[in-house]
């Protein structure tokens, strides 16, 4: 708050005060008071009033700075009204009381919303774990049917498992502190786990896997990274072209490690590249081929951000897509 703002807020009061002072001076002169005495009285009045204005201004400015410091120091800003002292003036105390009541009502709403969200997330996680049993049972039943039926059912069950897995990671991504461990892990181990998890889909799609330079140690959460790689492999299998190949390669970039997952599929239109990480965005390829939820790459970006891993995508429509993951060095990690 500047002194100019302070004066402008009291402009009407100051004008009325000046008018009253002028009329008072004219009245004193009209009643025979010496002009010199009137001037002295006006001077004293101006000095006293100016001192009072400056005193109020500096007191208010100090109070505002104190309140701003309290506000900036709060992690949960909506608790501001609960953490400041009550003002001294009656009008301000009444306004403050109303603000505190409004804040308490909002805190109640926030608490209820968080509790409902937590219950829903816990239900989703529980449902996902329960649904895995019938999926596994269906996979075992598939072994007793003919080859063609088994192949088709296995592919559909793999798609169901992929959707269930995305739902689980989406639920857990909202509370990363519950399921988040950064450790040093071999990149080759993560790639092998992701490939094994989606081997049926890759084989049925005729995908050839090429790996080079993956004997690199990275600092990441292994479970989340395997999920990200799995999403990239699924996308490459879903949008493959003729003689499909997925190449996984890594290189050292200073103290960081870059992993590139590249395919020779149908690619992504250039005007859609900026939106592929948006939640629910399926794109023209997803709508044409079907089966896309628009959640895979969104979750990849969300989980990568949590692990302080940079993820970038490049694509040439009709020629393929390349996704680059840049894993942080141990020194640059702020989470553990």
Q: Is 191 within 8 Å of 223 (Cβ atoms)?
A: no
Q: Which two tokens stand for residue 149?
A: 């039926």
Q: Which of 274, 220, 275 is nearest to 250 (CA)?
A: 220
In which band, very low, low, confident or very high, does the pLDDT at 335 lie, cut at 50, 70 and 90? low
pTM tops 0.75 = no
Which residues, 6 or more positions from 17, have their beta carbon under 8 angstroms from its beta carbon? Answer: 49
Per-residue confidence (pLDDT) for residue 9, from 0 to 100 = 83
Kindly report the number of other CB atoms within 10 A of residue 168's CB atom.
19
All domains in the chain, ordered by first residue: 3-105 (no CATH), 183-332 (3.30.565.10)
> Tens of pLDDT along 63-87?
888 888 888 888 877 777 777 777 7
> Tens of pLDDT along 245-303?
999 999 998 889 999 999 998 989 888 888 989 888 887 877 776 666 778 888 889 88
Residue with tokens 């989606």: 198
CA dihedral 255, 211, 227, 307 (to 10 degrees): 10
Helix (H) or strand (E) holding 300: helix 296-306
Q: How wide is the angle at C-alpha 111 spanned by C-alphas 105 and 117, nearest 5°?
A: 135
Report whether pLDDT(311) > 80: yes
């Amino acid at each position: 708050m500047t002194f100019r703002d302070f004066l402008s807020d009291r402009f009407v009061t100051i004008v009325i005060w000046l008018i009253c002072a002028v009329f008072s001076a004219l009245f004193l002169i009209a009643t025979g008071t010496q002009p010199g005495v009137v001037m002295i009285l006006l001077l004293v009045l101006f000095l006293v009033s100016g001192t009072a204005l400056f005193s109020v201004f500096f007191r208010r400015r100090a109070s505002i700075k104190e309140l701003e410091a309290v506000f900036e120091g709060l992690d949960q800003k909506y608790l501001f009204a609960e953490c400041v002292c009550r003002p001294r003036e009656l009008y301000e105390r009444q306004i403050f009381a109303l603000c505190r009541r409004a804040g308490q009502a909002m805190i109640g709403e926030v608490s209820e919303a968080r509790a409902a969200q937590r219950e829903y997330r816990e239900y989703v996680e529980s449902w996902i774990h329960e649904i895995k049993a019938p999926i596994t049972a269906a996979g075992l039943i598939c072994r007793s049917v003919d080859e063609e039926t088994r192949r088709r059912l296995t592919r559909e069950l793999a798609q169901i498992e992929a959707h269930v897995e995305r739902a689980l990671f989406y639920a857990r991504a909202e509370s990363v502190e519950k399921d988040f461990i950064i450790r040093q892990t071999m990149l080759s181990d993560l790639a092998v786990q992701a490939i094994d998890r989606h081997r049926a889909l890759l084989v049925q799609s005729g995908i050839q896997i090429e790996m080079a330079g993956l004997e690199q140690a990275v600092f990441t959460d292994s479970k989340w990274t395997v999920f990200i790689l799995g999403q990239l492999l699924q996308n490459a299998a879903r949008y493959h072209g003729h003689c499909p190949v997925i190449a996984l390669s890594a290189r050292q970039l200073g103290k960081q490690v870059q992993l590139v997952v590249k395919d020779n599929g149908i690619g992504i239109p250039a005007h859609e590249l900026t939106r592929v990480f948006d939640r629910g965005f399926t794109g023209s390829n997803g709508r044409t081929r079907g089966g896309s939820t628009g959640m895979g790459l969104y979750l990849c970006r969300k989980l990568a951000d949590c692990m302080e891993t940079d993820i970038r995508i490049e694509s040439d429509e009709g020629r393929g897509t390349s996704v680059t993951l840049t894993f942080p060095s141990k020194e640059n990690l702020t989470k553990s």
